């Protein structure tokens, strides 16, 4: 996984979710939900839409989403596996 | 039967409200009998949605048959305006209710509940006028709630000339909008501002609405509606308009009209749990159920039946089951028969809060709940006595109609047949003489006030409530959040990093409600059909989302109303807030005005409460923003001409001036301030306080 990809994902999260943290403050492995970034169920849907728009890859099911949307690393692995970043 | 306090009834000291006429346009067609027939025959009225431009395999919902909608009067066209389909639907439903109630004259109030009533017209405009939306990015005033209210009043005045119509107020609290409209109608009757009131709920099934619900994951991805089924995976939407006439029971009897039912009580509680979802344990709905029964003095064992909304949802089905267990007690929750009309129609958005009483009147008349159908694999974990596959008889002539809405909104309305009506009736002379007297009913002390123009200065980390401290507060809402924080601090009702100190109601007046995301969505339709940039685009097009965000930030609302539309919106919201206090529907109210236009963002916040329930803390009049002042408001035209005033000076601007006057503090000169808008006035005074 490239650092560049992870940075893009963090920038996407900060921009789309209007977070009051900088991309650099987001830990690659920190959980996105609960004690990590504290995202909620609406944020999940926002992130799914953003990933599709930003990287051209779509998450097909809730189960798949639960596996992928664990951390920045989880999203990066999914994007790399599904296709090259747009 | 436990003893009720007459003051807690919906009609206040004037006794229970009587429901004397209903009107309905649903996917089953025109009238309540059409819906009852569909339910009797187990005929689904759900269809594909090509008519609104949705053609996916899961795009199914309930559309009102076009042939069932009467055309607006020809004279409406003669006035030169295009009448929107939803205005026509609302008026047709209202006129059917008026006809059934044999209401031919008198002072009649009308209050509307809708989430996005105007959006359908916006989408039609896009389809009919490619490129025509240029210049509408700022808010789409032609498709605003204010315009909808204007059209409704014009049509009513043309169609029912013998009636002196009050100016429609528009309440927008997603699917519980009409419950707020009923609160206002009840206050108008309690204070003798009207002899009868019509509550209308309406919403269209538009592409924007459907796309928004789908983006939120609320719709069934399989296009099936499976209430309390093992495979339930979401709701399906419908559209419609439902209306009912309410008046005091004594008033109805005085006219010689036999009511269809009585409406003794209602509770609307927000659990401020989430922008969309309720408390999963159902604590908010359970409290609403208990409150409605307590107000009416009815025991859980006396409830004849229950109707539910938003069925088929994997969020709401289990929440409603838990709420009934908590609200009625585990034993009664298993015994009381439960059903819903939504298997036939889908979830009718803001119309659904009015369908509850309309459908409920029919249920009480027949003595039985309709069958609930949809799936073949009942959820084995659900122990409710559902009318699964066959109607169930009511245990008694009473019915709880439960309605849910985004933002953790929980509504419980109690209806009862005439057999029970005398339990709440008051003597005719008491009913005639009771009430709050002429406006202004009760000048109310102001415990904290703040005004803010431009951006706020809040950090999300100051809020220990349910708002994610890492999330920015949306820019359009930030002025309201900042003003609210300052006013609450001044009142001693809230502190940063601490949270709410006292519970209270929240009433938000939204001026220039930004339909910008909806307008953008409609523009995108020209290039990319079905495009929605994410669930937030939808949520932040709903006028009620501002109140939902404030609820999450401050943990405040025990009840919540958003009033939208027209230059009088802040006056209407202030009146609503003062009425809630005067009738002791809540102990305290935070009133917020929010003005969002392309050029300006501004907000005021007001902490209002009688002195005896002001604050748990010692009153400190020297605190910034806390001034001993009172506020009152009224309408200069209680009867007579009801022509909608043209847009002029905004009541939001008037409240901004008033807030600055108070915030200046110190020796006030003059000692009172008065202001007028199109058809009302407010007065503040410090003299003698």
What is residue A38's predicted lDDT score, i.e. its pLDDT? 80
Grouping H, G, I as helix, E, B as strand and the rest as coil, residue B472 is coil
Interface test with A, best of B473, B536, B537, B540 (most A CBs within 10 A): B536
**Interface contact flag, A50 B534, Cβ < 8 Å:** yes
Please, which residues bridge with residue B402 across strands?
Answer: B412
**Interface contact flag, B534 A49, Cβ < 8 Å:** yes
Q: Are the C-beta atoms of residues B311 and B340 closer than 8 Å to each other?
A: yes
Chain A residue nearest residue B459, CA to CA: A20
**Of B246, B228, B227, B245, nearest to B236 (Cα)?**
B227
Q: Which two tokens stand for residue B433?
A: 């003489």
What is residue B137's predicted lDDT score, i.e. its pLDDT? 45
Split at pLDDT 50, 70, 90, the class of B612 is low
Distance from CA of A40 to the nearest CA of B (A): 8
Which chain B residues are within 8 Å of A38, Cβ to Cβ? 468-471
| H or E stretch covering B571 | helix B569-582
What is the mean predicted confidence (pLDDT) over B22-35? 98
- Does residue B511 register a pLDDT over 90? no
Check residue B192 and give left, alpha or beta (phi > 0: left; psi -120 to 50: alpha). Answer: left
Which chain B residues are within 8 Å of A16, Cβ to Cβ? 534
DSSP conformational letter for B473? P
**Interface contact flag, B216 A45, Cβ < 8 Å:** yes
To the nearest whole number, what is the mean pLDDT of chain A? 84
Distance from CA of B301 to the nearest CA of A (A): 37
Chain B residue nearest residue A61, CA to CA: B221
What is residue B644's predicted lDDT score, i.e. its pLDDT? 37
User: In the 3-class helix/strand/coil scheme, how is chain A assigned residue by residue?
Assistant: CCHHHHHHHHHHHHHHHCECCCHHHCCCCCCCECCCCCECHHHHHHHHHHHHHHHCCCCCCHHHHHHHCCCHHHHHHHHHHHCCCC
**Of B179, B125, B171, nearest to B525 (Cα)?**
B125
The answer to whether residue B533 neighbours chain A at the CB level (below 8 Å) is: yes
Instruction: Quote the CA–CA distance of B557 and B326 in Å, as a whole number.
Output: 21
- Does residue B363 register a pLDDT over 70? yes
- Does residue B387 register a pLDDT over 70? yes
- Give A66's contacts (C-beta < 8 A, 6+ positions apart): none
CA distances from B564 to A39, B172, B661 (A): 30, 7, 25
What is residue B490's predicted lDDT score, i.e. its pLDDT? 86
**Interface contact flag, B535 A45, Cβ < 8 Å:** yes
- Does residue B183 register a pLDDT over 90? yes
Chain B residue nearest residue A13, CA to CA: B471
- Give B184's contacts (C-beta < 8 A, 6+ positions apart): B109, B111, B169, B171, B576, B579
How much is the pTM? Answer: 0.91
Give the model confidence (pLDDT) of B495-510 as tens digits: 888 777 777 899 999 8
Interface test with B, best of A25, A37, A46, A59 (most B CBs within 10 A): A46
Q: Are the C-beta atoms of residues B587 and B503 closer than 8 Å to each other?
A: yes
CA dihedral B15, B16, B20, B23 (to 10 degrees): 140
Instruction: Quote the CA–CA distance of B391 and B537 in Å, as a whole number.
Output: 41
Instruction: Quote the CA–CA distance of B640 and B165 in Å, as a whole number.
Output: 8
- Give B412's contacts (C-beta < 8 A, 6+ positions apart): B266, B267, B268, B285, B288, B289, B291, B292, B327, B400, B401, B402, B403
How many CB atoms sit inside 10 A of residue A57's CB?
18
| Cα-Cα-Cα-Cα dihedral sign, residues B651, B655, B658, B664 | negative
The answer to whether residue A77 neighbours chain B at the CB level (below 8 Å) is: no
Of B36 and B642, the one with more pLDDT: B36
Instruction: Estimate the crossing angle of helix B177-190 against helix B352-366, to 10 degrees.
Output: 70
Split at pLDDT 50, 70, 90, the class of B116 is confident
The answer to whether residue A42 neighbours chain B at the CB level (below 8 Å) is: yes
B79 φ/ψ angles, rounded to the nearest 5 degrees: -75, -5
**Interface contact flag, B277 A46, Cβ < 8 Å:** no
- Does residue B665 register a pLDDT over 60? yes
Nearest CB to B468 within list A16, A40, A45:
A40
Chain A residue nearest residue B276, CA to CA: A42
- Give B493's contacts (C-beta < 8 A, 6+ positions apart): B447, B448, B500, B501, B502, B504, B588, B590, B607, B615
Instruction: Quote the CA–CA distance of B558 and B551 in Å, as a whole number.
Output: 9
Instruction: Quote the CA–CA distance of B118 and B71 in Å, as a whole number.
Output: 18
Nearest CB to B535 within list A21, A37, A46:
A46
Instruction: Quote the CA–CA distance of B92 and B68 in Å, as a whole number.
Output: 10
Instruction: Quote the CA–CA distance of B8 and B16 in Å, as a whole number.
Output: 10
**Interface contact flag, B539 A42, Cβ < 8 Å:** yes
Nearest CB to B470 within list A19, A46, A49:
A19
What is the mean predicted confidence (pLDDT) over B220-245? 93
What is residue B139's predicted lDDT score, i.e. its pLDDT? 46
Interface test with A, best of B468, B524, B553 (most A CBs within 10 A): B468
What is residue B2's predicted lDDT score, i.e. its pLDDT? 45
Which chain A residues are within 8 Å of B217, Cβ to Cβ? 41, 45
Instruction: Quote the CA–CA distance of A13 and B600 in Å, as a whole number.
Output: 28
Which chain B residues are within 8 Å of A46, Cβ to Cβ? 534-536
Give the model confidence (pLDDT) of B345-358 as tens digits: 999 999 999 999 99
**Of B143, B29, B47, nearest to B89 (Cα)?**
B29
In b/e form, how buried is each residue of B38-53, taking b as 16+ CB within 10 angstroms?
bbeeeebbbbebeebb
Chain B residue nearest residue A48, CA to CA: B534
To the nearest whole number, what is the mean pLDDT of chain B? 84
CA dihedral B464, B468, B474, B478 (to 10 degrees): 10
CA distances from B537 to A69, B433, B502, B518, B595 (A): 21, 50, 32, 8, 19
Split at pLDDT 50, 70, 90, the class of B80 is very low
Q: In what order do the strands lie in the sheet with B237-238?
A: B46-48, B60-62, B237-238
What is residue B131's predicted lDDT score, i.e. its pLDDT? 60
CA distances from B156 to B165, B213, B543 (A): 8, 32, 25
**Of B541, B614, B555, B579, nearest to B270 (Cα)?**
B555
The answer to whether residue A20 neighbours chain B at the CB level (below 8 Å) is: yes
In this prediction the ipTM stands at 0.73
Give the model confidence (pLDDT) of B289-321 as tens digits: 999 999 999 999 999 999 999 999 989 999 999
Q: Are the C-beta atoms of residues B6 and B424 closer than 8 Å to each other?
A: yes
Instruction: Quote the CA–CA distance of B612 and B558 in Å, as a whole number.
Output: 19
Instruction: Quote the CA–CA distance of B268 and A9 in Å, as a whole number.
Output: 41
Please, which residues bridge with residue B444 across strands?
Answer: B631
Nearest CB to A38 within list B276, B468, B474:
B468
In b/e form, how buried is each residue of B155-168, taking b as 16+ CB within 10 angstroms?
bbbbbbeebbbbbb
Which chain B residues are within 8 Å of A39, Cβ to Cβ? 468
Peptide bond before residue B53 is cis, with ω within 30 degrees of 0: no
**Interface contact flag, A49 B274, Cβ < 8 Å:** no
CA distances from A83 to A9, A56, A57, A80, A86 (A): 15, 8, 7, 5, 8
**Interface contact flag, B470 A42, Cβ < 8 Å:** no
The answer to whether residue A69 neighbours chain B at the CB level (below 8 Å) is: no
| H or E stretch covering B400 | strand B398-405
**Of B356, B373, B65, B61, nearest to B237 (Cα)?**
B61
**Interface contact flag, A21 B470, Cβ < 8 Å:** yes
Q: Are the C-beta atoms of residues B178 and B414 closer than 8 Å to each other?
A: no
**Of B50, B26, B124, nearest to B352 (Cα)?**
B26
- Does residue B115 register a pLDDT over 50? yes
DSSP strand pairing (B409-416 vs B398-405): antiparallel
């Amino acid at each position: 996984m490239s650092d560049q990809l992870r940075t893009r994902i963090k920038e996407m999260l900060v921009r789309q979710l209007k977070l009051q943290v900088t991309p650099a403050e987001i830990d690659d492995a920190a959980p996105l939900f609960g004690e990590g970034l504290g995202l909620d169920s609406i944020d999940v849907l926002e992130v799914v839409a953003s990933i599709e728009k930003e990287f051209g890859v779509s998450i097909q099911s809730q189960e798949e989403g639960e596996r992928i949307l664990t951390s920045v690393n989880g999203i990066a692995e999914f994007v790399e596996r599904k296709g090259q970043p747009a | 039967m436990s003893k009720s306090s007459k003051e807690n009834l919906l009609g206040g000291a004037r006794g229970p409200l009587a429901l004397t006429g209903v009107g309905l346009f649903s996917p089953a067609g025109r009238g309540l009998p059409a819906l009852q027939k569909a339910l009797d025959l187990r005929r689904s009225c759900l269809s594909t949605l090509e008519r609104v431009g949705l053609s996916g395999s899961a795009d199914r919902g309930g559309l009102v048959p076009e042939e069932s909608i009467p055309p607006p009067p020809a004279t409406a066209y003669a006035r030169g305006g295009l009448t929107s389909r939803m205005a026509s639907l609302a008026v047709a439903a209202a006129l059917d209710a008026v006809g059934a109630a044999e209401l031919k004259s008198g002072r009649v109030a009308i209050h509307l509940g809708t989430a996005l009533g105007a959006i359908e017209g916006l989408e039609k405009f896009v389809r009919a006028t490619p490129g025509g939306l240029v210049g509408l990015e700022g808010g789409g005033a032609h498709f605003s709630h204010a315009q909808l209210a204007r059209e409704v009043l014009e049509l009513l005045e043309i169609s029912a000339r013998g009636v002196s119509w009050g100016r429609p107020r528009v309440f927008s609290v997603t699917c519980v909008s009409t419950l707020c409209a009923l609160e206002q109608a009840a206050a108008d009757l309690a204070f003798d501002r009207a002899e009868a009131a019509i509550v209308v709920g309406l919403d269209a099934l538009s592409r924007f609405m459907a796309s928004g619900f789908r983006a939120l994951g609320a719709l069934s991805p399989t296009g099936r509606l499976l209430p309390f089924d093992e495979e339930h995976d979401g709701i399906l939407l419908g559209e419609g308009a439902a209306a009912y006439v309410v008046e005091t029971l004594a008033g109805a009897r005085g006219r010689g009209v036999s009511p269809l039912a009585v409406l003794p009580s209602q509770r609307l509680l927000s659990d401020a749990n989430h922008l969309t979802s309720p408390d999963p344990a159902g604590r908010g709905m359970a409290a609403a159920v208990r409150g409605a029964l307590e107000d009416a003095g009815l025991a859980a064992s006396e409830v004849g039946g229950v109707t539910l909304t938003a069925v088929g949802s994997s969020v709401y089905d289990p929440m409603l089951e838990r709420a009934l267990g908590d609200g009625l007690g585990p034993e009664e929750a298993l015994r009381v028969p439960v059903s819903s009309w939504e298997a036939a129609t889908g979830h009718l958005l803001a119309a659904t809060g009015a369908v509850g009483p309309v459908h409920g009147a029919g249920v009480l008349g027949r003595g039985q709940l309709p069958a609930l159908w949809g799936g073949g694999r009942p959820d084995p974990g659900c122990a409710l006595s559902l009318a699964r596959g066959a109607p169930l008889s009511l245990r008694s002539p009473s019915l709880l109609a439960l309605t849910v809405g985004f933002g953790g909104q929980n509504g419980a309305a109690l209806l009862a047949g005439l057999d029970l009506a005398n339990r709440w009736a008051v003597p005719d002379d008491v009913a005639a003489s009771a009430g709050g007297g002429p406006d202004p009913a009760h000048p109310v002390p102001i415990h904290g006030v703040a005004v803010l123009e431009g951006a706020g200065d809040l950090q999300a980390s100051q809020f220990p409530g349910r708002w994610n401290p890492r999330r920015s507060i949306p820019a359009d809402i930030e002025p309201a959040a900042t003003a609210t924080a300052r006013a609450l601090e001044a009142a001693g009702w809230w502190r940063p990093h601490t949270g709410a100190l006292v519970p209270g109601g929240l009433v938000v007046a939204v001026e220039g409600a930004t339909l910008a995301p909806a307008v953008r969505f409609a523009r995108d339709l020209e290039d990319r059909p079905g495009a929605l940039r994410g669930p937030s685009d939808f949520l932040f097009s709903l006028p009620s989302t501002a109140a939902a965000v404030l609820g999450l930030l401050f943990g405040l609302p025990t009840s919540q109303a958003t009033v939208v539309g027209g230059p009088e919106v802040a006056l209407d919201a202030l009146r609503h807030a003062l009425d809630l206090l005067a009738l002791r529907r809540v102990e305290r109210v935070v009133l917020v005005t929010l003005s969002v236009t392309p050029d300006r963002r501004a907000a005021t916040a007001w902490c209002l409460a009688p002195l005896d329930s002001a604050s748990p803390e010692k009153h400190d009049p020297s605190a910034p923003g806390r001034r001993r002042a009172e506020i009152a408001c009224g309408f200069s035209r209680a009867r007579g001409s009801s022509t909608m005033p043209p847009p002029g000076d905004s009541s939001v601007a008037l409240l901004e001036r008033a807030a600055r006057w108070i915030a200046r503090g110190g020796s006030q000169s003059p000692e009172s301030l008065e202001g007028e808008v199109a058809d009302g006035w407010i007065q503040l005074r410090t003299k003698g306080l």
